[in-house]
Structure 1
Amino acid sequence: MSTKATLKSRLRVDGQPGFHLYDDVLTEMAYELAEESGSTSTPAPPVYLTLEGVEVELRTLPSGGAAVTLTIPRDMARELGLVPPENRELE
């Protein structure tokens, strides 16, 4: 049984990248339990994004962690709400 609750998805078809944006039900439950126990600074639970068929550049940072650069088609970025709609004039 999966604990993933899909928010939005697109299948990888004809060489075009696909994505899966989802919540994890168990993670959400853990955050809800923390709120119920009286934690006043519990942030909202995260969402997860899986991309299939995209170009990726990963760099390790000297300060720790990593920087990730993804090359995705503009229509996918628009569908995910990362860029404005096509009919909006360039500023």
Structure 2
Amino acid sequence: MSTKVTLKSRLQVGDQPGFHLYDDVLTEMAYETPGEGGATEDPPVYLTLEGVDVELQTLPSGGAAVTLTIPRDIARELGLLPPESRG
């Protein structure tokens, strides 16, 4: 049984990348404050990209820097860019 709740998705078709933007129910439950009915902070969302170019650099301070190459139409669909103007 999956704990993922899809917010937006697009299947990878041919050479066109796909994505899955989702919430995780178990993560959301961990962010709830017992007895108060409210959250201490907003839980994260998760984004899986399929069929994209990626560059990963480990950082001396820990963690990594990730650079993704995604088509503009997917960036617009995810709200990372404004809608294309029709003028």
Tell me the TM-score normalized by structure 2.
0.89
Q: Which runs of 4+ in 1 moved over 3 A?
A: none
Show CA shifts across 1:20-66 (max 9, x none).
0000001111111xx2256x982210000000000000001111111
- Kindly indicate whether residue 80 of structure 2 is the aligned counterpart of residue 82 of structure 1: yes
Shift of 1:6: 0.2
List runs of 5+ in structure 2 lacking aligned partners: none
Matches within 5 A, 1:51-70: 51-70=49-68
Q: What is the alpha-carbon root mean square deviation over aligned residues?
A: 2.0
Matches within 5 A, 1:1-91: 1-32=1-32, 35-36=33-34, 42-87=40-85
* Distance in 2 separating the partners of 1:88 and 1:7: 27
Partner SS, residue 31 of structure 2 = helix
Provide the identity percentage.
Answer: 79
Contact kept? 2:31, 2:39, Cα under 8 Å: no
Structure 1 unaligned spans of 5+: none
Which structure carries more helix by proportion?
1
Number of residue-to-residue matches in the alignment: 86
* TM-score, length basis structure 1: 0.86
